[in-house]
Structure formats: C-alpha cells, structure tokens
Structure 1
C-alpha cells in the first residue's frame, strides 16, 4: 500500500444500528501500529519450567494480526478507526479474511 489508502468493499458488511456498512478503508500499517499490536497481544501466563512454574509474557501471533488490522482500518461506513475489538468480532469471517488479505497487499 506504500502510504496510500485502499477501499475495500465488504461482502456481508458490518451492521451498526440499522445500517449495514459495506465500505471499508484501510491504510498502510506503521511501525507504531505493529509495536502497539504486539503489546496488546501479550498475555501473562504461568509457564512450566525446570524450576516449577514461572510467569511469562506470551504473544498470540493471530491476535497480533488482528490488532494490526484494526489499527489499519481508517473507517467502515461512518465509523472511524481504529475499529474497536468488539466491532471486529461482529465482522463476518469472509469480510475479516478479505480485510486481512487486502492489508497484506
């Protein structure tokens, strides 16, 4: 995308109130987006070690991808990005996959 924005027509759209928003806009991810996404995807877990169990920060790669994507979303319909994670959960899987594929171009 190289600093540009791209329009992504969604297949199923995102229902917000009575409206179904089918027009999404993405922008290129920044280093800040990636760093924030990695931090948001960290979870403190108790991990077995040779000395018993110790706390460790564990990062979910799939969560990092979603966190970067939600920061890349400029808008879906009249809703400005970054898109709230609760709204991301409401996307149809086909639309989520479409947004992920376009964000990687």
Structure 2
C-alpha cells in the first residue's frame, strides 16, 4: 500500500507502454541502511584505502527505494530507470517524496504533542 500516489506528466516508458501512476511509501530503517551502503565507495588516496559516501548517490538511493511502483513497474526502481524519466517527472518525483517525508515528520510531531 502506497502512502502517496500521483501521476507523472510524461511517464516511464517500458516497451510500448507508458507508466504514469506513482506510489510512494515511507522509508524503513533497512532502506536507510541499504542506501548508505550503496552510496559508499572505496577510493585509494596516497596508497590508503578511504571509504567515501556520496551525498548525491545516497539521496538517489533513498528515492528509488521510496518508489513502491510506477505503473506496472514494481519498486524499488533502479537508478537506471530513474534516469529514463523526463526532467519534469524527475523533479515532480523529488518534490512529492519531500512532501511525503514532511507529512510523516508532521504526523510524528503531532503524536509527540498529544
């Protein structure tokens, strides 16, 4: 069950079909852990291995995990599928994910006040 649904303007094309409806869900602790691990890169600098986490990749990894579905495409989607979106749809997906996160934060704050 999605926590938020909306339609993309251009959609995600898979084969001949264009998928418009998006379902977003609340992230779990596991999602945060998996996104962190996926965003880590090991680089060698001055002969020493250093673990580096890309904030951009971390944000993208969270976003793809938050997508429950886009039409018939079940989530989590991949960053590769995310790249196929029109820039307007990508922006809308980011905005809606932020709105969902804000609604969840407000609901938690309300629970703390009662």
TM-score range, shorter chain: 0.7 to 0.9
TM-score relative to the length of structure 1:
0.86
Q: In the alignment, is the contact (CA less than 8 A) between 1:25 and 1:75 conserved in 2? A: yes
Shift of 1:16: 0.5
Shift of 1:8: 2.1
* CA–CA distance in structure 1, aligned partners of residues 47 and 86 of structure 2: 39
Q: In the alignment, is the contact (CA less than 8 A) between 2:12 and 2:19 conserved in 1? A: yes
Q: What does 1:11-26 correspond to in 2, within 5 Å? A: 11-26=9-24
**4+ aligned runs moved over 3 Å, structure 1:** none
- Pairwise CA RMSD: 1.6
Point out where structure 2 has 5 or more consecutive residues left out of the alignment: 100-114
Give the structure with the larger helix fraction: 2
Shift of 1:53: 3.5
Shift of 1:44: 0.8
TM-score relative to the length of structure 2:
0.79
